[in-house]
Amino acid sequence: MTTVRRSDATRAAILEAARERFASDGYERATIRAIARDAGIDPSMVMRYYGNKEGLFAAASEIEIGLPDLGALPARHIGAVLVTHFLDRWESDEVLTAMLRVGVTNEAGAARVQEIFARQVGPVARGVCPDPEDAPRRAALVSSQILGMALARYVLCLPPAVEMSAEEIVAWLGPTVQRYLTAEAP
Amino acid sequence: MTTVRRSDATRAAILEAARERFASDGYERATIRAIARDAGIDPSMVMRYYGNKEGLFAAASEIEIGLPDLGALPARHIGAVLVTHFLDRWESDEVLTAMLRVGVTNEAGAARVQEIFARQVGPVARGVCPDPEDAPRRAALVSSQILGMALARYVLCLPPAVEMSAEEIVAWLGPTVQRYLTAEAP
DNA sequence: TAGCGTTGCCAACAAGCGTTGACCAACAGT
DNA sequence: ACTGTTGGTCAACGCTTGTTGGCAACGCTA
């Protein structure tokens, strides 16, 4: 049983501020002081509730991607569905952007990205690709394209990538992902 | 006329150490003190020769991608050629990895990545895509796939991406890039 | 109303950062 | 041999960082 503590609001405020700062500044430049200021409390509270900076990041990047029911969908459209879903997920909050930014300079962050993508797109690949043995390869290819678009659109902000509509991106990347998943090995 | 200074060796040592540190640690964690230690000199020399940390990074990321003669090649294989070339370039030294790592947390670094990719794959796209007006979009799509693979392989180090051979990667990504460049808009 | 755990602020710590200026040794030109 | 320039070190500066411990106010329970 998990009782409701009086400090739950503060804890949530800290997490929200942390996610924003990690997403926009990366791990090193997102200082505990700035996060505490955003949350309207003292820096020492962050330490009390999350131990240290690493613990704070671990808590802030605790998420569920929540891929939809993969098996029920027609295997023909799996590429477009995957791209759509990740695009939605990326734009719904800042957690994924934070993870990507942190993953580039921080060991724990990289592990987090690795784990999430392996656990989320790995099974999908295993389900639909011709030879289950190279499912990891397929998953990595898919991840490279999805992470690359996220990098270009949300982190580096290449103007054409930012201006494209979600539909356009799905129309372009969908077939790529589809091929990475279902085509015969070249 | 550029005379040869006695300190050129030191300057070069600093640049090499800086590129290594920026590539493996990112902008913030690559400290001037550590770079100077690697180069075997005093931190103050770095300041004397490059002004400040930003100047050092600017000097360390001064590179030429040097795309081969794009027009002379058959437009049918442009995708594979592009992927091969970038893969080579990425593995030949640490400058591109450094730029990618820094570009994620540093404003100037992001601008650098943006500029290099716009100036290098932009013209290629303008030369081969059906409608020159959406060449920037094509270039951004190509960049997203190439940067994404670099991210997965050299920064995040997803195991399958690291283990794939260069030929395999070209065989998979080549057609993608080819399609982004030459296919009719979907 | 007394006691106690919780919530929060404040002040400070040690360490590390980028950066600066004074100072010394070796060289080059006259 | 004298002098100005260059290559380099040393010690320190002001500042920010993550982190810590003490202390005041609050709310609950008896």
Residues of chain B found within 8 Å of residue A152, distances taken between Cβ atoms? 140, 143-144, 147
Closest in B103, B144, B173 to A161, CB measured:
B144
Output phi, psi for B106, to 5 deg. Answer: -120, 135
User: How far does the CA of A42 sit from the C1' of C12, in Å?
Assistant: 15
Q: Give the residue carrying structure tokens 């395999």.
A: B168
Query: Do A27 and A98 touch, CB atoms closer than 8 A?
Result: no
Closest CA to B104 of A28, A90, A104: A104
Q: Output the six-digit token pair for B89.
A: 């370039």
Residue B11 pLDDT class (50, 70, 90 cuts): very high
Task: Calculate ∠ Cα A88-B176-B61, nearest 5°.
Answer: 85
- Would you call B30 an interface residue with chain A, using a CB distance cutoff of 8 Å? no
The reply to whether residue A159 touches residue B136, judged by beta carbons under 8 angstroms, is: yes
User: How far does the CA of A52 sit from the C1' of C2, in Å?
Assistant: 36
Residues of chain B found within 8 Å of residue A172, distances taken between Cβ atoms? 141, 180, 186
- Residue A32: partners with Cβ closer than 8 Å, 6 or more residues away: A43, A46, A47, A53, A56
Which residue of A lies nearest to B116 if distances are taken between CA atoms? Answer: A158
- Residue B4: partners with Cβ closer than 8 Å, 6 or more residues away: none
Rounded to whole angstroms, how far apart are CA atoms B162 and A163? 32
Q: Output the six-digit token pair for A152.
A: 């270009």
Residue B65: the pLDDT is: 67
Percent of chain A clearing pLDDT 90 (strictly above): 81
Confidence check: pLDDT of A65 > 70: no
Q: What is the mean pLDDT of residues A132-148?
A: 97
> What topology is assigned to A8-60 in CATH?
Arc Repressor Mutant, subunit A (1.10.10)
Rounded to whole angstroms, how far apart are CA atoms A86 and A164? 15
Query: What is the helix (H) or strand (E) element at residue A87, kind and residue range?
Result: helix A78-92
Rounded to whole angstroms, how far apart are CA atoms A39 and B37? 39
Query: Do B128 and A132 touch, CB atoms closer than 8 A?
Result: no
Instruction: State the Cα torsion B174-B175-B176-B177 to the nearest 10°.
Output: 50
B37 touches strand C (CB under 7 A): no
Q: Give the residue carrying structure tokens 């730029």.
A: B99
Least confident of A37-51, A169-183, B2-16, B65-79: B65-79
- Would you call B137 an interface residue with chain A, using a CB distance cutoff of 8 Å? yes
Q: Output the six-digit token pair for A55.
A: 């613990």
Residues of chain A found within 8 Å of residue B121, distances taken between Cβ atoms? none
- Would you call B31 an interface residue with chain A, using a CB distance cutoff of 8 Å? no
Q: Output the six-digit token pair for A109.
A: 């962050």
Rounded to whole angstroms, how far apart are CA atoms B99 and B112? 7
**Chain B 143-172, CB below 8 Å of chain A: which residues?**
143-149, 151-153, 155-161, 164, 168, 171-172
Closest in B25, B118, B158 to A143, CB measured:
B158
Rounded to whole angstroms, how far apart are CA atoms B28 and A9? 32
Q: What is the mean pLDDT of residues B10-15?
A: 97
Q: What is the mean pLDDT of residues A84-92?
A: 94
Give me the residue spans of the domains in chain A: 8-60, 75-182
If you compute the radius of gyration of chain B from its CA atoms, what whole number of angstroms results?
18
Confidence check: pLDDT of B138 > 70: yes
Q: What does the longest C-alpha to C-alpha distance in chain A come to?
A: 59
Q: What is the pLDDT of residues B44-103, one digit of tens each?
A: 999 999 999 999 999 999 877 666 666 667 778 999 999 999 999 999 989 999 999 999
Closest in B105, B136, B151 to A105, CB measured:
B105
Residue A2 pLDDT class (50, 70, 90 cuts): low
- Would you call B110 an interface residue with chain A, using a CB distance cutoff of 8 Å? yes
Least confident of A42-51, B31-40, B61-70: B61-70
